[in-house]
Amino acid sequence: MTGAPAYSVVIPTIGRPCLADCLRALAAAAGHPPEEVVVVDDRPEPAGELPLEAAGPLRGRVRTLCSGGRGPAAARNTGWRTVGTPWTVFLDDDVRVPPKWSRLLADDLGAVGPDTGGVQGRLTVPLPENRRPTDWERCTAGLEQAAWATADMAYRTAALVGVGGFDERFRRAFREDADLALRVLEAGWTLRRGRRTTAHPVRPAGRWVSVRAQRGNADDVLMNRLHGPDWWSRAEAPRGRLPRHVLVTSAALSASLCVLAGRRRAAAAAGALWLLGTAEFAAARIRPGPRSPDEVTTMVVTSVVIPPLAVSHWLHGLVRHRRVLPTGGRP
């Protein structure tokens, strides 16, 4: 497409099979192909070849880099710092761009003014049509409302240079995109939502996925330190249940201490509060779901485990990030 802004695509990966589908879909999006596709292998010890042949006609434009297993923020930095195009488009390796994606991307980038630092793609999460979605499927579907998610996010390369890219203290695929967006906004750029859409299928996950996700509470502490307590609203991020988890965990701890002290009535009261809070949490997760025996069992068990684990990760974050200064989030 003559006159459309040139761009490069950066895809961090840990070698998941879905990378092949991502590259295949990108190659099928004809009209305004990327100048290059940078696949960043973030496996600590790469074993086996990546499925780069799936890029088909784009194979000659694909190159790979290694980032040593330091997380998606570091992987994206490794990629974008080597591109020479005005725009860098970040895609996750588990998304599927539709055939008109590159044409719509050209429209998105061509329609913005010089003060625009980034243009977000709209994510769609396919959900089962014959049943209610599970807790994990609903969690993934939340990406449809997420602001500035790097599953499909185009940034002006100059904006990335100006803010220093992603903060590599975010080691997981969580909050690193919100942090970058806030720093780009603080630098005077604007961010916009584009017209292009990208599918983000629900990846397979075990029943403990919600338990593992609680590690993100430590990243929220880092966000608080960097951007202040109002970062939630500025990043358009939904608030979690940490205050309730603190209350439920405190009730459980109080009940245990009261039992040891022989204060039975106080122990019973605290235990009842813990039971009520845990039941409310489990019901809130079970009610909108498929309510199958396996899903109900998973929700009940994980609803007991999640509150104390969330608090534990939050406390760990307070200790780990206690010396982080609120410098506007600049890495």
The pair of three-digit structure tokens given for residue 213, joined into one six-digit string: 């996700």
Q: Where are the alpha helices (DSSP H) in 287-327?
A: 293-320
For residues 188 and 184, give the distance between their C-alpha atoms in angstroms, rounded to a whole number. Answer: 7
Show pLDDT as tens, one digit a residue, over the chain (331 residues): 667 899 999 999 999 999 999 999 999 998 999 999 999 999 999 888 999 999 999 999 999 999 999 999 999 999 999 999 999 999 999 999 999 999 999 999 999 999 999 999 999 999 999 999 999 999 999 999 999 999 999 999 999 999 999 999 999 999 999 999 999 999 999 999 999 999 999 999 999 999 999 999 999 999 999 999 999 999 999 889 999 999 999 999 999 999 999 999 999 999 999 999 999 999 999 999 999 999 999 999 999 999 999 999 999 999 999 999 986 544 4
Q: What is the pLDDT of residue 329?
A: 43
- Between strands 116-124 and 190-199, the pairing is parallel
Q: What is the pLDDT of residue 4?
A: 87
- Please state the separation of Cα 37 from the chain's center in Å: 21
DSSP string, 130-157: SSPPPHHHHHHHGGGG-SS-TTEEEEEH
Q: What is the pLDDT of residue 326?
A: 87
DSSP string, 248-296: HHHHHHHHHHHHHTT-HHHHHHHHHHHHHHHHHHHHHHHTTS---HHHH
- Between strands 152-156 and 87-91, the pairing is antiparallel
3-state secondary structure of 196: strand
* Nearest alpha carbon to residue 245 among 302, 188, 199, 202: 302
